[in-house]
Amino acid sequence: MTVASRSVSRGLVSVEPDAGTLVVYAAKDGETALDGQGFNSPFAEAFVKNLQTPGLEVRRMFDFVRDDVMEATQRRQKPFSYGSISGRQDFYFVAAK
């Protein structure tokens, strides 16, 4: 029995979000995210860590997630976010105390 396979393209392609939408990828366009050494990926660990921070606005939170992932992966993985969330509206997962 012969088994053959071939690689499809690397990573996900970008999408055009609707107004008021923020799109976040664990890795930049065309790249794949690393699995990491632990139970969760570097992106998942950074996301959960920063998600719990009270009063951290969502865009700033993903800046911290990006920095944490880049540090954990020695800059081999760079999360990417984009979208059209209004600059006049803030969004928080956890309200400030």
Instruction: State the pLDDT at residue 7.
Output: 46
* Residues counted in the chain: 97
> How many Å apart are CA 37 and CA 47, to the nearest integer?
16
Instruction: State the pLDDT at residue 2.
Output: 54
Please state the pTM of the whole predicted model. Answer: 0.79
Instruction: State the pLDDT at residue 10.
Output: 62
Q: What is the domain partition of the chain in residue ranges?
A: 22-30+37-83
Instruction: State the pLDDT at residue 6.
Output: 47
Low-confidence ranges of the chain (pLDDT < 50): 5-8
SS3 assignment for 43-96: HHHHHHHHHCCCCCEHHHHHHHHHHHHHHHCCCCCCCEEEECCCCCCCCECCCC
In tens, the pLDDT along 16-32 reads 777 888 899 999 888 88
Instruction: State the pLDDT at residue 14.
Output: 63
Query: Residue 12 is encoded by which pair of tokens?
Result: 């996900």
